Amino acid sequence: MLIVESDPAAVELFLSTGKLSCPSCAGVLRPWGWARERAVREAGQEERLSVRRSRCSACARSHVLLPDRCLLRRRDSVSTIVSALVTKAKKQASAVIATELGVPFDTVRRWLRRFAACAEELRVGLWAMAHALDPELEPIVAQGAPFADAVEALGVAMRAAGRRLGPRPGFRWASVLTGGRLLANTSCTFRAP
Ligand SMILES: [Zn+2]
């Protein structure tokens, strides 16, 4: 799987001009049909997204191209999920966050638990990524609150990516930087953009 722009026209252009690299071997990805349509929920609206499939011209592996509005296996947009994390880091109650975002309480609680379980791994990985994107970046100091420190690291890494590679609205860098696995149920992994 590879995280790509949410604009379908941009993805088609990148595919047709060989601008997308295989996450396995860095070969050129070519169009290869479509994956199952998926829903993304944002601001109370649900939208169906067409998801492109690609195939590497070098190693022949196929890769689903997931729009950067999404996280792997999450129905809500990355914008909604990161908003919840940021608000929780400011010590807001989960029930209030759920109400404000219009998302079921249990869903919000699952995100927060998942993020908390991976917080230390995420903080370390995101710091490394932020420094790789911006070697001038000052050393970052953990405050001893794993959840809030990981959210801070996410913010630092997203800003570094924005400065180096251009803006992506709605916290979409969070999806790109973590390869869509910000709240993955497996080990957290990172992908250099
Ligand atoms: Zn390949």
Of 64, 71, 56, the closest CA to residue 24 belongs to: 56
CATH class of the 2-67 domain in this structure? mainly beta
Query: Residues with Cβ within 5 Å of ion ligand 1?
Result: 22, 24-25, 27, 56, 58-59
Crossing angle for the helix pair 78-89 and 146-165, nearest 10 degrees? Answer: 130
Location of structure tokens 């180096």: 164
Q: What are the pLDDT digits (tens) for 91-126?
A: 999 999 999 999 999 999 999 999 999 999 999 999
Digit-coded pLDDT (tens) for 168-191: 999 999 999 999 999 986 555 665
pTM: 0.92
pLDDT of 138: 87
Q: Round to whole Å and give the CA distance between 68 and 109.
A: 23
- State in Å: Cα 14 to ligand 1 middle: 16
Tell me what the pLDDT averaged over the chain comes to: 93
Each residue's pLDDT tens digit, 42-99: 988 999 999 999 999 999 999 999 999 999 999 999 999 999 999 999 999 999 999 9
Q: Give residue limits of the domains in the chain.
A: 2-67, 78-177
Cα(10) to centroid(ligand 1), Å? 21
